């Protein structure tokens, strides 16, 4: 799994809209066969307002590139949520689930939302600039 990067929903939305800082990064990761998403991102893209107009594009992005929310990842996410909540630094369930999957599979996470994810101990963030 060397070189793989899990990409957050915000950057994929940039790519699908053709504007924003995620466009170049997603293109490079797709071209290098390095882009991966989580089941959480697949869900978020599915319920997004642009889904019907971009259904095929979204399915192409997530099909065979999605890491699951398996029991180990769910337990890691629970650890993240409990630790952050106890510290008064909650980041929300979806972000904890994303972090749990990345930690479980030991993969870096590309996101613009560093404010939330910098709080997660042990999570490697991929430079999106």
What is the full per-residue pLDDT of the chain (129 aa) written as tens digits? 569 999 999 999 998 888 988 999 999 999 999 999 999 999 998 887 666 577 787 888 888 899 999 999 999 999 999 999 999 999 999 999 999 999 999 999 999 999 999 999 999 999 998
> Where do the domains of the chain lie, and which CATH numbers do they carry?
5-126 (3.40.50.1010)
8 annotated as ligand-binding: yes
Q: Which residue has the tokens 């799994």?
A: 1
Among residues 99, 93, 110, the alpha carbon closest in space to that of 15 is found at 110
Centre a 10 Å sphere on the Cβ of residue 38 and count the other Cβ atoms it contains: 29
Would you say the C-alpha torsion 63, 64, 66, 70 has a positive or negative sign? Answer: positive
Q: What is the pTM of this model?
A: 0.92
79 annotated as ligand-binding: no
Angstrom distance (rounded) from CA 129 to CA 22: 9
- Report strand pairing: 66-67 vs 35-38: parallel
- Report strand pairing: 66-67 vs 109-110: unpaired
The dihedral region occupied by 88, where left means phi > 0, alpha psi between -120 and 50, and beta the remainder, is left
């Amino acid at each position: 799994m060397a070189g793989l990067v899990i990409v957050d929903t915000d950057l994929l939305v940039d790519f699908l809209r053709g504007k924003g800082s995620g466009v170049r990064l997603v293109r490079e990761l797709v071209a290098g066969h390095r882009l991966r998403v989580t089941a959480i991102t697949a869900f978020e893209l599915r319920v997004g307002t642009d889904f019907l107009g971009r259904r095929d594009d979204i399915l192409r992005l997530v099909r065979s590139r999605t890491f699951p929310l398996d029991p180990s990842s769910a337990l890691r996410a629970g650890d993240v949520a409990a630790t952050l909540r106890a510290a008064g630094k909650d980041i929300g369930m979806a972000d904890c689930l994303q972090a749990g999957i990345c930690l479980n599979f030991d993969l870096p996470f590309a996101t613009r939302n560093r404010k939330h994810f910098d709080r997660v101990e042990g999570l490697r963030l991929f430079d999106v600039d």
